[in-house]
Amino acid sequence: MTTPFFPAYPWDKSSLKSMPVDLQQFEKLDAYALKVNVKNSVEDLVTALLQQARTDLEKVRAIWMWICHHIEYDIVGYHDKSQLSSKPLDVLQTGKSICEGYAGLFEQMCSIAGIQCMKLSGYSKGYNYEMGQSFTGDSDHAWNAVYLDGRWHLLDSTWGSGAVDKSFTKFTFRYNEFYFLTHPALFINSHFPDNSNWQLLKPTLTLKDFENNMLHKSNFYTLGLLTAEPETTVIQTENGKACVSVDCRAATLFKFELEGTEHGLMTLKKHGMKLDIYPQKTGSHKLQIFAKPYKASQDVYDCVLEYVVECESVNKAMCLPKDLSQPLGPSWFTERQGFLRPSHPDPIIHTNDGRCSLTFTLGKDISVLALLHHSSLTEDMRNRHIMQIHRGNQIELKIQLPHAGNFVLKIYAKKKSDPGNYDYIFNYLITCLNTEVKWPTFPQVYKNWAEDYEILEPLSGRLPANRNVQFKLKMHGIGKVLVQADDVSTLTQSGDYWEGTCNTAGCREVYVMVQENANHNFYSQVLKYEVESQ
């Protein structure tokens, strides 16, 4: 075989093909090839297909499209070879075969069309491939090479036509463009030819390399993903932790599954994602990573990578709350949702005294809901340990934890102009190891408490009994402010601030009430405090 080898795969991975191909120019030809319905002879079929094909590339394309859309994988024949024929005419007339028949028909149709074509055989990482397996014995797959523009190119019409389900009982037509003239550096990922020359690569890979190398599924490349670390199928944990990262070109969203759970910490990066996983049992675990384009209309994530994670010891300290959602922390995605310039870019917040404060600059017209999740917190307490403070287009979230532990801070948002529900945007993991921590809730806030009001004191929602308590509140556009305990106290105004004291003797609750208009006698409650029992 005298063919120039392909250069090293272009680092920008902008082309998945081994020659320049403009798919838009094929639209008419593809549509024509799909409609051709000739089953009496291979020669007549090729004659019909070539009516619209001028160049050698167009001829190969027409043959490829026809086979991928008209021949289905013969599951019965695969299980019972006596029911199977791979002769091109039989494949054409039954419309069924296995890889041998697809590749044989492809070779004969090309030969009739005057195109040099080879049927190749070798090992493949196909439907029944187990990660990390060894390949021995006879080859298990067949595909083709075609000679175009002075060099050989690879394609696999079996895999281009569709997919078989996991139990190998059903074939579904699902056209896959990836396997048409695939760049050899990508093709070798899943196809290892018996004759290493047909890798069309220099240097060639050994079978050991092929066995150990990570299987990047076709979705990995078609979604514009570039590289994944580590590059080996099997990952060993270190101190109960394993790390995976993926780099990509376009805005991409990711999910992962570790034996059906999400026990890890995934963060989105500008060009990809980073994942730390903490298996909760020793032994081998299957890790799957899924992706979808940010702008995809459907909420369908495709599997792009699979690993085996070998765990020798469990990191007991990393017992993550079940409420934690992936990915964690702020990212380009949360920026697009209107959360800009986060004070905490890291997804985990460590606090020693049980308090922390986060700030964001908000996009226009955004209303925020923040909830704290922990198994000890009832639903109606989830917002009582968080206080929102708005200053212009900045929001501050003050958080006081009720006790030590791992908490999840979930942030939701909606348009202020939209009466609908809040949408979940992202979350943080807040950790506190200090067992002395025991912060009370913030005061209860009612709906008339405006977004840009601010409590300076008292910040605790629980007031001491039989004490004079100092109040300082920042509110504007108000006629009068009262604090109702056993007695009623009036706060005095100084600019936007309202100040004064109230005595907590003889009462269980204290309310702050505002008169929004000096001409009305109507007061509305804006804050509620509880008083500690005697």
Could you tell me whether strands 151-155 and 141-148 are parallel, antiparallel, or unpaired per DSSP bridges?
antiparallel
SS3 112: helix
Structure tokens at 377: 């917190």
Q: Which of 282, 345, 284 is nearest to 309 (CA)?
A: 284
Render 370-426 in DSSP notation, one character per residue.
Answer: EEEE-TTS-GGGTTTTEEEEEETTEEEEEEE-SSSEEEEEEEEEEETT--SPPEEEE
Q: Say if CB 163 and CB 174 are below 8 A apart.
A: yes
Q: Which residues of 438-454 are buried (b: 16+ CB within 10 A; e: fewer)?
A: ebbbbbbbeeebeeebb
The yes-or-no answer on residue 156 being catalytic is yes
CA distance 353 to 504: 28
Indicate which residue of 99, 248, 311, 356 is catalytic. 99
H or E element in which residue 498 lies: strand 497-503
- Exposure of 228 by Cβ count < 10 A (0-12 exposed, 13-18 middle, 19+ buried)? buried
| Measured CA distances, 311 to 237, 239, 255, 275, 405 (Å) | 5, 9, 21, 16, 25
The yes-or-no answer on residue 99 being catalytic is yes
CA distance 483 to 245: 55
CA torsion angle 193 195 199 200 (round to 10): -150
User: What contacts 7, CB < 8 A, 6 or more positions away?
Assistant: none
Q: Which residues of 78-104 are buried (b: 16+ CB within 10 A; e: fewer)?
A: beeeeebbbebeebbebebbbbbbbbb
The DSSP letter of residue 261 is B
Render 134-190 in DSSP notation, one character per residue.
Answer: ---SS--EEEEEEEETTEEEEE-HHHHHEEE-TTS--EEE---GGGEEE-HHHHTTT
CA torsion angle 392 395 400 406 (round to 10): -170
CA distance 270 to 153: 34
Indicate which residue of 156, 216, 374, 385 is catalytic. 156
The yes-or-no answer on residue 507 being catalytic is no
Q: Say if CB 94 and CB 86 are below 8 A apart.
A: no
SS3 215: coil
Indicate which residue of 141, 183, 191, 373 is catalytic. 141
Structure tokens at 205: 């890979």
| Cα atoms in the 13 Å half-sphere on the side-chain side of 523 | 14
CA distance 292 to 295: 8
Known catalytic residues are 99, 141, 156
